[in-house]
Structure 1
């Protein structure tokens, strides 16, 4: 037999003392929150720089189009066949320009897709979202469906798509099956670039040659890593990736410059015993390796879940061993 709800008065004689405990409501927290200043977003200003660049670009395109039109008309007045040749060349140039624009847009959209996959994976891991993890794996399979090295991994992932798996386990399986081989390729590319930079800067006679080759190697390494993980950056896409890589490098500690990085990696006193040119080569190689690791983190479509995050020793251990052997 269930008991019906009843009301009691606290001062009633039949209410036992101590049976009812009355606590005060936490009004102190509410009053403290009332005095809190709510931060307001700053007022957005008009993007005058962007407007200026857009207007100048429009004027330049109009002037160029008018100049081409006048050239075609003048050539047609001189000889009709010259006008037709100029018109055909103009159409060919327009088609090539549209193809370049399309490639740039496609590369940027592909990079944005990889970035969104990585951000979505981070969010799914944070809240253990099974549905989001399944969608991320499907997008990864679509991204790498043309890779011959991912055929076996894709088949195993497709076989497990309907199984009930935790979000982190599902993403870890995708990481192992699809990204682990790509991580190995990326680490080999970083190690090769670091060794090449170290060798060239150790034997080059001029500092300007060192700087030029380091920049060239960094550009080539970033493009290589982007292609390994499925990106196809054009000019603007590459600049966007480079900015993201340098931002990541700054957040994770920045590029160590000078002898401090060598002292940190090679050990105290060792950098003083190697020759100056060899030490400079090792330092440039280690800086290239650090930039490569930052670029790897930016280009990878998933964060490191179960796979070990690569470190400098994994991609530049040979440089350290070489410097240690030279110092003995």
Structure 2
């Protein structure tokens, strides 16, 4: 027996019955329930999230920021009592010298006219030599300032990354070595690259390698030879003041040699200015004395145990001379070390200690041969 599915049927809902049920429910609700269905009000003490002006997690591991120190105030140059006294002393010495020369010429003319004329010629030659000496000193000081300005300009241009300033500094560097005989090969190489399209920074690096690579190698050799001479003289000198005087003489001569090696001019007063700049460079870099790491290196390799007391003093004085030479290179070099490595005391320390140890071995062999 099969049953057929029936079709869905619709039925009607009485709207009146539904409305009556809703009214009955509202009537049963109490007044308190009706009052509870009011509009929500804002709550003052509700929890809310406020965005901080500064991200705490971004600055959690950063060091505490401190205000930068104010720039040092430059002292105004005043013409004080010392300047007045020195100026007055110079005037007095000049007048006394003039009166003495005048009296000398008068006495010579009284003796014989030929003697007076010879005295006048000698005074004229002395005046010309003095003028030439002053002009040479002024030229040397101006040349040193020009090199220092070129180095500062190059450092600033490389730090800023300005292509025009870098190209200008490179041109000044090439002009500085235009007449230097030891840079002829480098200048020829740069002349071949004149028409090439090269970035300003890369061109400066090429110019530094072409012009200064050979000069830097020779400067290292000059400094190393001076350090060896100081080491030997300190080891064999009988008195402390002898080796002290030689160390000072060798350091001053080394500074002059390095300045002339890089195309500078060092006169008498120019050398004094160079020495002041080198000492200032040593003080700024904080290496006017030997560092603990260098002393530990010497002691760790057993150099102090193998060398005698005098040779050990020679090594220390030689290393100090090497440090002065490295500072002189940093001051007299017309460009900073950018594409080429700067010389280091550690490299020269190893060479100097090997040289001193070899000297110690030769001395020991000579003593044994003499004893036998």
Q: Secondary structure, in 3 states, of the residue corresponding to 2:217?
A: helix
Partner of residue 94, structure 2: 61
Q: Decide whether the 8 Å contact of 2:294 with 2:346 is kept in 1.
A: no
Of residues 124, 142, 146, the one that matches 2:179 is: 146
1:324, 1:237 → 2: CA distance? 37
Tell me the distance in 2 between the aligned counterparts of 1:260 and 1:148.
41
Aligned to 1:70: 103
Alignment of structure 1 residues 285-300 onto 2, 5 Å:
285-300=318-333
Question: CA 1:124/1:165 → structure 2, altered by over 3 Å: closer, same or farther?
Answer: farther
| Partner residue, 1:132 | 165
Of 265, 268, 275 in structure 1, the residue corresponding to residue 297 of structure 2 is 265
Q: In the alignment, what sits opposite 1:19?
A: none
Instruction: Choose which of 116, 134, 149 in structure 2 pairs with 1:116.
Output: 149
* Number of positions where the alignment pairs a residue of Structure 1 with one of Structure 2: 294
Change (3 A) 1:91 1:226: same
Structure 2: give runs of 5+ residues left out of the alignment: 1-67, 362-372
Whether the aligned pair in 2 keeps the contact of 1:195 and 1:319 (CA below 8 Å) is: yes
Any conservation in 1 of the 2:180–2:263 contact (CA below 8 Å)?
A: no
Q: Which residue of 1 aligns with 2:208?
A: 175
Tell me the residue number matched to 1:44. 76
Of 227, 237, 262 in structure 1, the residue corresponding to residue 260 of structure 2 is 227
Give the secondary-structure state (helix, strand or coil) at the position aligned to 1:218.
helix
Match in the other structure for 1:86: 119
Tell me the TM-score normalised to structure 1 length.
0.81
Counterpart among 342, 347, 352 of residue 309 in structure 1:
342
CA distance in 1, matches of 2:218, 2:301: 34
Please state if 1:217 is matched with 2:250: yes
Supply the distance in 2 between the matched residues of 1:39 and 1:189 (Cα, whole angstroms): 39
- String of CA shifts for 1:267-326, please: whole Å, max 9, x gaps: 337324532112111111111111110111011000100101110133342222346676
* TM-superposition CA deviations, 1:47-76 (whole Å, max 9, x none): 323343233223322321232122212322
The structure whose Rg is larger is 2
- 1:141/1:54 CA distance change after superposition, 3 Å: farther
Instruction: Tell me whether 68-77 or 86-95 shows the greater mean CA deviation.
Output: 68-77
TM-score, length-normalised on structure 2?
0.72
* Aligned residue in 1 for 2:221: 188
User: What's the CA shift for 1:45?
Assistant: 5.3
Going from structure 1 to structure 2, the CA distance change for 1:169 and 1:264 (only over 3 Å counts) comes to: farther
- CA deviation digits over 1:91-112, x for unaligned, max 9? 0000110111111011111111
* SS in structure 2 of the partner of residue 301 of structure 1: coil
The alignment yields a C-alpha RMSD, in angstroms, of 2.8
CA gap of 1:96–1:40, structure 2 versus 1, over 3 A, is: closer
Q: Is the 8 A contact 2:230 2:317 kept in 1?
A: yes
